[in-house]
Amino acid sequence: MAEREPPVPVLYLLVIGAAALSWVMACRRWWLPLAIWVPCALFISSLIADFADPVIGAAVREELGVLYILEADLAGALLLVVPLMFANIRFTRQDERPPRRGSRRG
């Protein structure tokens, strides 16, 4: 059963990759990191669904231990929060920006 689950370093590399991609996308448009959030949420929900299954979850806890599940949950939480965080940072900075020259914002 353990061969079906991604190793913890792979999960953290996925978090770092999503953070880097979210940062680059947020520099372009504030809403672009939200496009990363959807596949990340689907991946994490499938991973957690395996842990919640009575048969698969018990086998994973027996083979990999509870620490693996905790680290996978932590990586999943980071994977879900990071794109939203970069989108929020960029969105709030956009509101603070002074109006452009020649624009008719009032």
Is 21's pLDDT higher than 90?
yes
- Rounded to the nearest integer, the mean pLDDT of the chain is 88
pLDDT at 55 over 60: yes
With CA atoms as reference, report the closest residue to 1 among 76, 64, 72.
64
- d(CA 76, CA 55) in angstroms, rounded, equals 21
Q: pLDDT-derived band of residue 100, with 50, 70 and 90 as boundaries? A: low
Provide the residue range defining the domain that includes 39. 30-92
| pLDDT beyond 60 at 56 | yes
Distance CA 19, CA 86 (A): 8
For residue 15, being part of any structural domain is answered with: no
Question: Is 46 within the bounds of a domain?
Answer: yes
pTM over 0.95: no
CB-based burial label for 54 (10 Å; 0-12, 13-18, 19+): exposed
What is the pLDDT at residue 94? 67
Angle in degrees, CA 60, 19, 39, rounded to 5: 60
Q: What is the pLDDT of residue 92?
A: 85
* Residue-level pLDDT at 96: 62
Mean pLDDT for the stretch of residues 85-92: 89
The answer to whether residue 77 is domain-embedded is yes
24 falls within a domain: no
The count of structural domains within the chain is: 1
Amino acid identity of 94? Answer: Q
Which two three-digit tokens encode residue 54? 């009575």
- Is residue 53, in this structure, part of any structural domain at all? yes
Classify burial at 62, counting beta carbons within 10 Å of its beta carbon; exposed 0-12, middle 13-18, buried 19 or more: exposed
Distance CA 17, CA 92 (A): 23
